[in-house]
Chain A
Amino acid sequence: MRAGRDHRRSGRCGDMQGHAETSRAMQGHAGRCREVQEHAWRCRDIQGGAGRCREMQGGAGTCRMMQGHAGRCRDMQDDEGTCRMMQGHAGICRAMQGGTGTCRMMQGVAGTCRMMQGHAGICRAMQGGAGTCRQGWLTRSAPPRGQGALPRAAGPEGRSRWGRSGAMRGQHREQHREQRREQHRERGPALPAAVGALCRALPPRARPAPDTLRRARFDRPQASLDFWKLLYVLLKQIHGGRWTESDAIGAQVSFVKWALWYHGYGRPQLQRLPADGSAGSRELLLAFSWLLHSPGLLEQLLARNRVQPGDQTSVCTCEDELPSSQEGTSEAGPEERVDVRYLQWLNGRLRLQWCSLHAQHQEQCKLWYKIHLFTSGSHMDQNLGHFSVTETDLISQPENYKQLLQLLDSETKQLEAFLEWKQLEPVYWQWMETVLDNMAEEGNMCESQDVHVEKRRLPEATPWAAKLTGQMDRLSRDLLSLQEHLHQLVAQRKAAWWEKVATREELQKERFSATARKIQESTELKLRGLTSLCAPKKKMHGLCRLVLRSKHPAGRMGFGQCGSKEAVAAVSAAEVITELQVREASLQRELQQLRQQCRHRLDGIAESLEGVICISP
């Protein structure tokens, strides 16, 4: 008997179970992240919590409590921010893990072709910038070579700060310079204005001095630290995180490198910049400009940093594609091998953090409900009827009005600056083109020459690009499988029908036709299910203001909208909950399937091991 026990011990079957658990957990991971958002909406406690309002009907004591609640709610929003940051991190981490190989290649010399992508990015940005520019770009794409870096003629005093300097050689070039000077004269005072507007349109904490950009244009090392910080703060904000001053410069630099790579900026020169942030301001200026153009940076930041007087929650019913599982990752070299227990540990931590986040969300919902219920009927706006956390806070602490006013004021200024920037934007891109031009002349030419031949290719490992191809793949796969499914169904039905026909023909005619009808109906039903599966679904994405509606059985209404590109129309919480529940169920099914697959694979592996008994989980 004791021997039997040892046998089990040697079986290490639990290890296998662990394996299955991990791989299942990884695949379900992205799904779980989405569940977090979904759970925010599950205010079941709130809908059913009419009983809990008793305590709220108290008098002055309750008011004191409310203040505390408002305060705590605010804390929670901070916490939520942190968690969102975590998710962002997780995303980047995943990208990092997936892309270590590519990254090393990128850093290597062999990846010169990638450099062009950075160029291409800027190029696209430029083309968006000004029409005249495009012309200039084309003519200069074949400059006289072998003359080294060209010193340029000094411009008039007023614009020499931003313009070029040095003498020129070559007639073609001469002509072009002339043309360029014309442009200079026109935009002379406009460039500082454009840069100024740009700086003011950036979030207050990230705002660089306009002079920093000028310094960066000449690749001054003094400007590089400012630029790393600028990019760090901006990227942190985009990823929903709070920036902390305390982060060491090394951490900032590596975060910026990864985040830029994540967004598809693959210029190896940037990746090669020193980790202490001491050099490379022009390279960073280039990256910043790329970021400024490609993902609509300013618009995103403005939307993110809006002052929100109402209580808001995010809704998202988009079906993000899970990155398809990569079978090839097991081929990693021995030095990259990670102990599976460490992955299980990380996975466990993520799960526990998710539980904490869930508890926080529930608390927030409870407190919201208390505030909304207690202040119902107080708001001037009949549509709302009750105060939000911010409003309640203002009532209990009127001196906070000043702060809010300041915030609103600064946001207005930022928006004004943004409008100004939009008008002056072309000037900036023209200027950027000269920067790029300079860079190209300073020794990168020979490198980029060979690259012209190579086909432009996006780094495949970037999640940004992989997502697109992944989606396309999935779509075609879905189509194929649907088609197959349909064929199968039809074939099955036909077969079944023929069988029945054969048997029923001997029976009465009436019963036969009734059965036939039944079969036809059920086929239709199945087919209908199939079409609804393919039908485009209504997608919601963005922020919703929470409004408590006691009259509606639905309880809460999302109302108003802000933040994201697409508006979210008024929607009842109950609707969203149902929709999310449907989605949850389908994800559960998918998870089940994946689990089953893993189990089969494990069984297969276990069978090939000799002398070991494995008990499947």
Chain B
Amino acid sequence: MSIVTVQLGQCGNQIGQEVFSALCSDIRGTHGLCSKKENGSYQDSCKERFFCEEESAVPVARAVLVDMEPKVISQTLSMAARSGHWKYSSHSHFCQKQGSGNNWANGYSVHGPRHKEAIMNLVQKEAEKCDRLGGFFTIMSMAGGTGSGLGAFVTQCLRDAFPTSFILNHVVWPYGTGEVIVQNYNSVLTLSHLYHSSDALLVHENDVIHKICAQLMNIKQISFRDVNQVIAHQLGSVFQPTHTAGGGSGYSRNPLGELMESLVPHPEFRMLGLRNIPQMPESSLPYSTFSWPGLIKHLRQMLIANAQMEEGIDWQVRPPSSIPSTNKPLHFNTSIANLVILRGKDVHGVDLGSFQDPSLYTSWLNPQDAFNAWKTPRAFNKYEKSAALVSNSQFLLKPLDSIVGKAWNMFASKAYLHQYAKFGIQEEDFLDCFTTLEQVISSYTNL
């Protein structure tokens, strides 16, 4: 089973490159802490998922790179080639001379239709290389021009061309303080369009990752690269091979499908958040030990208290009492569905009962439906034990509400709308997008 990654825009390409190098360094590492056979099938499974091995000596990433400016793509290609362990195919990127100028409408209505054929040809070629196309994984920012506008357009094209394939969009949520004045407009447009064409939206908030870099990784001068590496590590901890519940003895051959099936069957709830534990600088790893019960306890509290990392968790938050009442305790984060991924030593004896508590979930789903766990004894990225949580919950309710609120205020004063109208995105289109997101907010609020 293979996943085709589509990297869009500056952000998407930079993160994509970090993801592939994280995957590659993980399977090349000697930190596996498991049997040789296990390690071998882990490596094979990872290679089948993300790389194809042609005649060339090093694995070639199953990826399509798209940007409107040549700079980032050439950087990305050369960085991959320089690693010497993997590379991008020399025929699977598309770039132009002129960017989108942070205008969503420019990416969506101009660049998209103009270059649709060329981009889709690249995707088609990459898809044909897979014996089994497991789906698409697109990486893009939410607030920019090319990544978000063109990304939304390309996602729509993917849905049309591959109606039965899974599409998982990874979107990077902008800093609250904002790099771009129209980022809230762009975000609203991106999210609502993706909500119609994608199967699931996996969200990383820049602010959160920035905090992790500062407080957990102890990085003083935080660069985009540091942020991207943390994101890549978290994504790797989800998408590296695991044994799933229904997958028989081997590694799962349908990770995207199983992820979607356990988390996002409902069409109105498609926002996924990702948390992991532990996360620390590589230098302190040799001096740390972890126990599974401790990790699970922390991860659970991170979930219910909506903490973004293991530091500063509010331990006062408790699940509501078993009697279903309408007024849930403040700050309690209700889940629709959760997926826990455990990697490392003694993983098979771990007790996950605390995640199967019905009070964690919405009343219309029982924990058997709502909770799943994937496991592998193979350690990930030098962490002896590590746990990741992909959650479809109220995680993103607050940031979403704030973005929609800010965008609405701008919209109400008709600010910058002419910039969008210039490329064919009219007020009615904005209204439709607001309606979609309001519906999402209300659905998540009334869990």
Residues on A close to B: CB < 8 A?
1-2, 5, 8-9, 12-14, 18, 21, 39, 45, 52, 339, 341-342, 344-349, 351-356, 358-360, 362-363, 366-367, 615
Sorted nearest first, the 5 A-B pairs with minimum C-beta distance are A348-B265, A363-B132, A14-B439, A339-B364, A1-B412
A348, A353, A359 — which one has the most chain B CB atoms within 10 A of its CB?
A359
Residues on B close to A: CB < 8 A?
1, 128, 131-134, 164-166, 199, 254, 257-258, 260-261, 264-268, 362-365, 369, 408-409, 411-412, 434-435, 438-439, 441-443
Give me 20 other A-B pairs in contact (C-beta within 8 A), A356-B257, A360-B132 excluded. Answer: A1-B408, A2-B409, A8-B438, A9-B439, A12-B442, A14-B435, A14-B443, A21-B267, A341-B364, A344-B267, A345-B266, A346-B265, A348-B265, A352-B260, A352-B265, A355-B166, A356-B261, A359-B164, A362-B133, A615-B435
A1, A21, A358 — which one has the most chain B CB atoms within 10 A of its CB?
A1
Contact A14 B268 (CB under 8 A): yes
Tell me, rounded to whole Å, the shortest Cβ–Cβ distance linking B368 to chain A.
Answer: 12
Tell me, rounded to whole Å, the shortest Cβ–Cβ distance linking A42 to chain B.
Answer: 11
Q: How far is the CA of A516 from the CA of B268 in the complex (A)?
A: 57
Interface of A is mostly: helix
User: Which residues in A have their C-beta under 8 angstroms from that of B365?
Assistant: 342, 345
Q: Among the listed B258, B266, B435, which residue makes an inter-chain contact with A8, where contact means beta carbons less than 8 Å apart?
A: B435
User: Which residues in A have their C-beta under 8 angstroms from that of B265?
Assistant: 344-349, 351-352
Contact B266 A362 (CB under 8 A): no
Tell me, rounded to whole Å, the shortest Cβ–Cβ distance linking A585 to chain B.
Answer: 16
Q: Among the listed B165, B267, B409, which residue makes an inter-chain contact with A359, where contact means beta carbons less than 8 Å apart?
A: B165
List 16 A-B pairs, Cβ < 8 Å. A1-B411, A5-B434, A14-B268, A14-B443, A345-B265, A345-B369, A347-B265, A348-B264, A351-B265, A352-B199, A352-B261, A356-B257, A358-B164, A359-B257, A363-B1, A363-B132
Contact B438 A5 (CB under 8 A): yes
Tell me, rounded to whole Å, the shortest Cβ–Cβ distance linking B414 to chain A.
Answer: 10
Q: How far is the CA of A236 from the CA of B131 in the complex (A)?
A: 31
Contact B134 A18 (CB under 8 A): no
Q: How far is the CA of A349 from the CA of B1 in the complex (A)?
A: 20
- For B436, the closest partner residue in chain A by CB is A14
- For B267, the closest partner residue in chain A by CB is A348
Contact B438 A9 (CB under 8 A): yes
B131, B133, B134, B441 — which one has the most chain A CB atoms within 10 A of its CB?
B131
User: Which residues in A have their C-beta under 8 angstroms from that of B254?
Assistant: 356, 359
Q: How far is the CA of A5 from the CA of B267 in the complex (A)?
A: 22
User: Which residues in A have their C-beta under 8 angstroms from that of B132?
Assistant: 359-360, 362-363, 366
- For A338, the closest partner residue in chain B by CB is B364
Tell me, rounded to whole Å, the shortest Cβ–Cβ distance linking B6 to chain A.
Answer: 18
Contact B267 A2 (CB under 8 A): no
Contact A349 B267 (CB under 8 A): no
User: Which residues in A have their C-beta under 8 angstroms from that of B258?
Assistant: 356
User: Which residues in B have their C-beta under 8 angstroms from that of A360?
Assistant: 132
Tell me, rounded to whole Å, the shortest Cβ–Cβ distance linking B159 to chain A.
Answer: 12
A13, A14, A39, A356 — which one has the most chain B CB atoms within 10 A of its CB?
A356
- For B414, the closest partner residue in chain A by CB is A1
User: Which residues in B have their C-beta under 8 angstroms from that of A1?
Assistant: 408, 411-412
User: Which residues in A have their C-beta under 8 angstroms from that of B1?
Assistant: 359, 363
User: Which residues in A have their C-beta under 8 angstroms from that of B441?
Assistant: 9
Q: How far is the CA of A345 from the CA of B264 in the complex (A)?
A: 8
Tell me, rounded to whole Å, the shortest Cβ–Cβ distance linking B61 to chain A.
Answer: 19
Q: How far is the CA of A413 from the CA of B165 in the complex (A)?
A: 45
Tell me, rounded to whole Å, the shortest Cβ–Cβ distance linking B124 to chain A.
Answer: 11
Q: How far is the CA of A18 from the CA of B134 in the complex (A)?
A: 28
Contact A52 B434 (CB under 8 A): no
Contact B257 A355 (CB under 8 A): yes
Tell me, rounded to whole Å, the shortest Cβ–Cβ distance linking B49 to chain A.
Answer: 13
User: Which residues in A have their C-beta under 8 angstroms from that of B408?
Assistant: 1-2, 5
A12, A14, A18, A358 — which one has the most chain B CB atoms within 10 A of its CB?
A14
User: Which residues in A have their C-beta under 8 angstroms from that of B412?
Assistant: 1-2
User: Which residues in B have their C-beta under 8 angstroms from that of A2?
Assistant: 408-409, 412
Tell me, rounded to whole Å, the shortest Cβ–Cβ distance linking B342 to chain A.
Answer: 22
Contact B134 A359 (CB under 8 A): yes
